[in-house]
A and B are shown apart, each in its own frame.
Chain A
Amino acid sequence: MDNRKTFIPLSILLPLLSALFIVIVGGGLGVIFMILYSTYLHEWGVIMLGMVFVVGVPVVAAIIAKKYEKDVN
């Protein structure tokens, strides 16, 4: 019961922070896409940045994960 009491503020705070993260990252990326679209790159700018995320995020995650992979029990 005590444990539950401790986590009640977190169960409100974490979703709120998560929503803020979406507004900043999602909204920010949306604005960056709009700026790229308005440049001479046009839709290729949006495609290139999108591909950077498609390839970059899993690759960076895999590199960092490999570092901690040996820590398994």
Chain B
Amino acid sequence: MEQVHLKGHESEHETSLGIPHRKLLIWVFLASECMFFGSLIATYLVYQGKSLVGPYPHDVFSIPITSVSTFVLLVSSMSMVLAYSAISRGNIKVFRIWILSTAILGACFIGFQVFEFREFAVEGLTPRTNLFGTTFFTLTGFHGAHVTVGVIWLLSIFGFSFFKKFTSADSLSVDLVALYWHFVDVVWIVIFTVVYLIGVVEGG
């Protein structure tokens, strides 16, 4: 088995709060992301039902398909937890398997989004069509961009694990990407509920 050097996070410089600087930074970053997505969701809700021309949410949304893509993202979060668990136990091979699994599921979610955006365009919904199209594509497009960044981050860590020995600092890196990935997952749950489910029920 390959050697993994894990000593916890004791070698990291800690803030006065008792957590490493990088971990505090990711929490502050995620807080700013909450405000970013909060304003995009609020914008969507403010303009909900105010489109003068179609297509409307109930004309284009396919809840069964989007539910499957939501499951893909939820399962990827479970996979991420198992990757972090493996690196915490010092098992680099198992870590690689689960982090690659997380990245594949993330790429699968992007595949769903590519398909969905194309189908919406075929049905006449583009960012220029109406207020629904503008707010919907802005919100889900930015979320898709965040998933893309997350997959790049996951695959980069996966790649780095082949080129250098893992230290406590690398264990923290996995912790940081896990926090980011779970955040992206939680944001999607909110988007799925607010945009898709409520959108279809209200018909706006």
Contacts and interface: CB of A to CB of B under 8 A. Distances in A.
Do they bind each other? yes
Contacts of B163: 7, 10
Main secondary structure of the interface of B (DSSP, over half): helix
A72 B4 CA distance: 10
A60 B94 CA distance: 12
Contact of A54 (B71, B119, B159): B71
A72 B89 contact: yes
A30 B111 contact: yes
A12 B65 CA distance: 35
Contact of A25 (B98, B111, B156, B159): B111
Nearest to A72: B91
Nearest to A48: B68
Main secondary structure of the interface of A (DSSP, over half): helix
A51 B71 CA distance: 8
B79 interface: yes
B64 interface: yes
Interface residues of B, number: 46
A3, A47, A53 — which one has the most chain B CB atoms within 10 A of its CB? Answer: A53
Contacts of B159: 10, 14, 17-18
Given A50-B69, A68-B97, A34 B115 contact: yes
Given A25-B107, A54-B72, A61 B97 contact: yes
Contacts of A22: 107, 110, 148, 151-152
Interface in A17-59: 17-19, 21-22, 25-34, 37, 43, 46-47, 50-51, 53-54, 57-58
Interface string B1-32: 10010000000000000000000000000000
